[in-house]
Amino acid sequence: MKLKVVLAQLDFIVGDIPGNTDKVCSAIEKAKALHNFDVIVFPELTLTGYPPEDLLLRASMQKRVESAILQVCQASSQLGADHTIVLGYPWHDGAHLYNAAGVFCNGELVTRYYKHCLPNYQVFDEKRYFAEGNEAACFYINGVSFGITICEDLWHEAPAAKAKAAGAQILLNLNASPFHLGKLGHRRKLVASRALQNNFPVVYVNLVGGQDELIFDGGSMVFDQQGNCCASFPQFAEALYLAEFDTGSAGDMTAIPIVDSTEELSVEQSVYQALVLGVRDYVNKNGFRSVVLGLSGGIDSALTLAIAVDALGAERVRAVMMPFTYTSQMSIEDAAEEAAILQVQYDVISIESIYNAFMSALEPAFTGLKPDTTEENLQARCRGVLLMSLSNKTGALVLTTGNKSEMAVGYSTLYGDMAGGFDVLKDVPKTLVFKLAAYRNSLSYCIPQRVIDRPPSAELTPDQKDEDSLPPYDILDEILRLYVEKDHSAASIIEMGFDKTQVERVVRLVDINEYKRRQAPIGVRITERGFGKDRRYPITNGWKMGS
C-alpha cells in the first residue's frame, strides 16, 4: 500500500489570519488536484505566521484562530474521509497558550498536539508566550500511524521517542526554522539521527519567506527509517512537494526515494537567494510600491542594487548618485554603468550646494574649531536627507547599503547613510560582499570589475581608503566573527595570534557603537548572530574591553 504526503512549503504573512487561511484552503485544493494526497502537512504556526510575537497577547487572537479553524474544517469536510490536513496554530487550552498542531479529517478535529520543547535562545523567545506540552499525538490513515512533533521538538530526543512509543510509524515535523549559514547541514544531520534512532521515516516541512530580519528558507526533506535522505526540496521557493511511502513486510513504512532531490546550495548561492527573498517579502508584505537607494559607485551599493532588481524588478527600483567634491570620476562612471545595465531609474543630484548651505549656517557655531569627522558625517547626512525626501514624496522604501563589518565598528553615520527602512547587507561581512558581487556577475554581468577590485572607500576625504583606519577586511571580519558571533573575549582572540593593538581597537569600536546599531534599520539575518533579535546588549554599561 502506498501513502501520499504533500509537504506545503509556503510563505505566510504574520498576523494575516484570514489571508493565511485562504492560502491554506487554496493549497489544499491544488494539492488534491495535483497529487490526490492522503495527508497534507503545513508548517508551524501556519495560521498566524511565524513569529507572531506579542500579537499572541492580543485578546482577540483566540477568536480569530477559532474562526480560521472553522474554515479549515469546512475545507476538510469537502475533501471527505480520504484526505487529512495537518497544520500549526496557537491555541488556548484552559489557562495556557500552546504552540499547537491540529489534525483535521472529514470536517472534524482528529487530534491536537502541543509543542513540547520551547526554544528560548538566539532569535527565539517562545517561553514568553507558550506553555510546554508533554503528550504524544498520533492519528491513522489506512491503518498507518502518524506521529507529530513541532520544530524544536526534533532537536531533543524525548518528543520523537514518545511518538514512537505511542505507535507512530511515520513522524511529521512541522517547522518555522530560520536560515543562517550552515543551518541546512545541521538540520539534515538532525533529521537523519531521529529517523535512525526511532526506526521511522521523518517528514520535515519548513516555512519559507521573509519576516522582518528573519528568513525562512524552506528546504523541506524526507528521511527514511535508516536515516537516508530520500527527498530534499529546494530552498527559498514556495511549492507543494510530494513524498510517497510504501508498507514493508513488517508493517513499517518506507519512504520512496525521489530521483531529483535538490543539491545543497553554495554559500554564495544560499546567501544571495536569502537576501533577494528578504527584500522581496519585506517590501511586498509592507505594501511598498518601490525602493530607492544611494548608488555611490562602490561595491556595497552596487550589490544592493543588483539584489533589489532581482527581488522586485527594475521598474520598482530607483538609484540616486549624489556626488561631492571628493567623489571620483571612476565612481560616477561606474554608478551610471550599473544603473544602465540593470535598467533602473537613475538620478544624479549633487550635494555640493546643500553641504555648503549647511556649513554656512553652522559657520558661527564652528568658529575656532578644527575640521574633523563632523564635516565627513555632514556629507552623509545631506545624502540621507535627499533619499528620505524622495521616499516621502514617492512612497519608495529607502534601502541602506551598510555591511556587517561597518555596522560592527560604527563606520556609518547616524541620520546619514544609516537613514532608511531596510539594510540589505546588515549581516553580510565585507569579505562576503566581495564574493557575492563576483557570484552575481557569474549570473550576468552587472557590477564593473573595477568596483570589485578597487580598495573600498567612503570618499569623504581626499584619497580616503577604509583600511587607512581599519585592519584589512579579512582580518577584521575574522576578529568580528570571533567576538560578535562566537563570544570570544579580546584576550582569547589575541591568544589565537591576532595583533593585540588591532584586536583591542576593534573590540572597543564594537562595544562603544551599540547605541548607533540600536538606531539602525533592520536587515536580513544570514549568520548565527546578527545585530538584531539575537544580540541584545545594553547601551549603558560598564563592561570593559570585551572580556
- Over residues 33-37, the mean pLDDT reads 92
pLDDT score of 64: 97
44 is catalytic: yes
Measured distance CA(233)–CA(231) in Å, rounded: 6
Round to whole Å and give the CA distance between 503 and 526: 24
pLDDT of amino acid 542: 85
**CATH code of domain 2-258:** 3.60.110.10
Checking phi first, is residue 84 left (phi over 0); if not, alpha (psi -120 to 50) or beta? beta
Helix (H, G, I), strand (E, B) or coil at 358: helix
Percent of the chain with pLDDT over 70: 95
In the chain, domain spans: 2-258, 268-518
Q: Could you name the CATH architecture of 268-518? A: 3-Layer(aba) Sandwich (3.40)
3-state secondary structure of 47: coil
Spatial neighbors of 244 by CB under 8 A, at least 6 apart, are 2, 3, 4, 5, 255, 256
Q: Structure pTM?
A: 0.94
Please, which pLDDT band fits residue 252 given cuts at 50, 70 and 90? low
Whether the pLDDT of residue 530 is over 80: the answer is yes
251, pLDDT greater than 60: no
Confidence of residue 254 (pLDDT cuts 50, 70, 90): confident
Output the pLDDT for position 544. Answer: 73
Tell which residue, 271, 279, 214, has the closest CA to residue 420: 279
Neighbours of 310 (CB within 10 A): 21
Across 264-278, 518-532, 533-547, least confident range: 533-547
For the chain, how big is the Rg over CA atoms in Å? 26
* pLDDT band, residue 312 (cuts 50/70/90): very high
Torsion angles phi and psi, residue 49, rounded to 5:
75, 165
In this structure, what C-alpha cell is assigned to residue 144? Answer: 498507518
Annotation says 115 is catalytic = yes
Whether 215 shows a pLDDT value over 70: the answer reads yes
Nearest to 193 by CA among 216, 171, 165: 171
User: How would you write 305-346 as a 3-class SS string?
Assistant: HHHHHHHHCHHHEEEEECCCCCCCHHHHHHHHHHHHHHCCEE
- Orientation of helix 299-312 relative to helix 430-443, angle to 10°: 50
Q: What is the pLDDT of residues 291-306, one digit of tens each?
A: 999 999 999 999 999 9
Q: Cell 560604527 appears where?
A: 410
Per-residue HEC secondary structure of 12-43 comes to CCCCCHHHHHHHHHHHHHHHHHHHCCCEEECC
pLDDT digits (tens, 9 = 90+) for 177-186: 999 999 999 9
Alpha-carbon distances, residue 256 vs 4, 202, 243, 303, 341 (angstroms): 10, 12, 7, 42, 46
Predicted confidence (pLDDT) per residue in 162-199, tens digit? 999 999 999 999 999 999 999 999 999 999 999 999 99
Instruction: Give pLDDT tens digits for 344-400.
Output: 999 999 999 999 999 999 999 999 999 999 999 999 999 999 999 999 999 999 999
- Mean pLDDT for the stretch of residues 507-532: 94
| Annotated catalytic residue, options 4, 115, 404, 426 | 115
Task: List the catalytic residue out of 44, 338, 406, 485.
Answer: 44
Give me the catalytic one of 25, 105, 117, 151: 151
Confidence of residue 210 (pLDDT cuts 50, 70, 90): very high
What confidence tier does 462 reach under pLDDT thresholds 50, 70, 90? low
pLDDT at 213: 96
Tell me the three state secondary structure of residue 398: strand
Strand partners, 144: 141
Give the pLDDT confidence score for residue 262 in this predicted structure.
66
**In this predicted structure, what is the pLDDT of residue 205?**
98
